[in-house]
Amino acid sequence: MLLVIDIGNTNITLGAFEGIDLKASMRMTTQIHRTSDEYGILLHDLLLAKGLKLDEIKAVTIASVVPNIMHSFVSGIIKYIGITPMIVAAGTKTGIKTPTPNPKEIGADRIVDAVAAYEIYGGPVLVIDFGTAITYDLITEDGSFIAGVTSPGLRISANALWRETAKLPEIEIALPDTILAKDTITSMQAGLVFGCIGQTEYIVKRMLAESQIAGCKVVATGGLGKIISENTDVINVYDANLTLKGLKIISDKNGVGR
């Protein structure tokens, strides 16, 4: 069994693959100030709660955008699962070309998403990840990562809205029935969600127009991406497990877990 782990700024998402099948997925919050024992015990307990036997895990692959937790997190895996994980980094075989001025600056999560979208849905493809930040990455037909856009995620925008204003409350991020809001909460929801939909549509159309790439699929992922994808026609596919699938594909390309 292969355990894949995506360490994001807000959440850590884990997936257990048996062959090509995703047997289980789980999520925990990302906290910098945890020891290797704390991470190890959390992982141990999560896996057992999902009915997974630790001795069946033969390999672990990690993609991370949070370098400050990596020492403790990796140490926890080694101590409690007994495996030294592969870390997706520059030099890892991915099948994606990065003809950009500073390819090492591209986050591992973006490369993983690009791999999954390209391998599963084909190129050219524009992949959007609605995470802590919203990322838009354009992959050509030959698998070249040629452009990326980064904007604040919905939760970042929401946190700024209620933290930087005296009277606006903390609210649930949800799609209101109408943009014609008549109270404070729905007016904030309308601004956040419809604003994000509008941003998504504009950025997608602008990227495709400037790149002059025809026949490009648009694939979205990320926790809040479902709300957006269901309310716009510029997104062709929403795949909640895109990142986990990308980690599995990269693991296979590097002979991990065989």
Question: Which among 202, 199, 194, 201 is positioned nearest to 173, based on CA atoms?
Answer: 194
Task: pLDDT band for 185, please (50, 70, 90 cuts).
Answer: very high
Q: Are strands 125-130 and 21-29 parallel, antiparallel or unpaired?
A: unpaired
Active site residue 233: no
pLDDT at 33: 86
Q: Span 187-193, mean pLDDT?
A: 95
Q: Answer whether 0.85 is exceeded by the pTM.
A: yes
Domain boundaries, the chain: 2-87, 103-246
Q: Give residue-wise pLDDT tens across range 78-122.
A: 999 999 999 998 889 999 999 888 878 888 999 999 999 999 999
Q: Give residue-wise pLDDT tens across range 232-246.
A: 999 999 999 999 999
Task: pLDDT band for 53, please (50, 70, 90 cuts).
Answer: confident
Question: Which among 90, 89, 129 is positioned nearest to 244, based on CA atoms?
Answer: 129
Q: What is the average pLDDT score of the chain?
A: 94
Given a cut of 70, is residue 221 above it in pLDDT? yes
pLDDT at 258: 65
| Residue in 6, 109, 137, 239 annotated catalytic | 109
pLDDT at 104: 81
Q: Span 147-165, mean pLDDT?
A: 93
Q: Say how far apart CA 182 and CA 27 lie, in whole Å.
A: 36
- Indicate the CATH number for domain 103-246: 3.30.420.40
Higher-pLDDT residue of 53, 141: 141
Q: Say how far apart CA 56 and CA 76 lie, in whole Å.
A: 18
Considering the domain delimited by 2-87, tell me its CATH architecture.
2-Layer Sandwich (3.30)
Q: Would you list the DSSP string of 168-179? A: PPP------S-S
Q: Do domains 2-87 and 103-246 have the same CATH topology?
A: yes
Q: Span 181-208, mean pLDDT?
A: 96
Given a cut of 70, is residue 67 above it in pLDDT? yes
Given a cut of 90, is residue 75 above it in pLDDT? yes
Q: Are strands 59-64 and 86-87 parallel, antiparallel or unpaired?
A: parallel
